[in-house]
Structure 1
Amino acid sequence: MDQVLGQVLRNAVWERLDMLSDLAERADAPSLVSVARSELPRLAAGWRAMLQAHEPDERGDCPTCSTRWHRCKAPCSVWQVAHEHLVAGGLAPQALSAAGQRPARRRAAVPAVPGQNRRAEAPAETTGRHALVKPRPVSA
């Protein structure tokens, strides 16, 4: 059940990000101002909450990314991505794709290649833009 819920949550987030990107590309100026006023504070609050969970502890480790067996020194990948996208600006998409990670935005659903996901596969969603996308492995 957790896998199904996780897939539903991931799909909802991807759909929302796709919608916002589409609005940024296609909306007229008054619509953009309206969306910016409502969405920018929510996005900033979301980044703040995520970054707060990844604040280094007194040893300089990220408490969220660290495990019992492997300590993750700050800045963790979450802080690095935040810097790339919020501070470095236009360099982030090239940096991510060069590292072999997911690009900043997906344009369409891509079916997963069987056997490449090491986790147990959740039942696929049957509707929505990301219906064929399998859950990504979580890296610690």
Structure 2
Amino acid sequence: MTDPTLPPVLAEIRDDFLALGERDRLQLLLEFSRELPEIPVRYQSAPGLLERVEECQSPVRAFAEIDGEQRVHLYATAPAEAPTTRGFASILAQGLDGLTPQEVLDVPDDYPLSLGLTNAVSPLRLNGMSGILTRAKRQVREQLAAA
């Protein structure tokens, strides 16, 4: 499944999910939950800098930052006791990392639905992942407008 607007890392993640059966997709999501990158120290000491993702049932915070080289980094926190949500945050943190602002803005809004998890996790949880992506895009737009 090729999609010219989907960055290679996100396409690879999607393809990895779709190559598996439903039960194994959930296992892969749990693996991602264990791989959520640590947030930088500057955010650890000021977690309020990360925006609360209201669509998530669990307390998830996220912030997309454009660095000096015009590359995006998504930082997120999600509790270990919410592995599904943490997995979604990890997928986006890893999948958006290092992209240009335009590449992030071009990620299809329905990317979370393309992972083949609609029968494995609740619509509320998928909505949470969409909320993280929506916020990342808005934050990128805001930073571009302020520059």
TM-score bracket relative to the smaller structure = 0.3 to 0.5
Tell me the TM-score normalised to structure 1 length. Answer: 0.33
Tell me the TM-score normalised to structure 2 length. Answer: 0.31
The structure richer in strand per residue is: 2
Structure whose alpha-carbon radius of gyration is higher: 1
Greater RCO (CA < 8 Å, at least 6 residues apart):
2
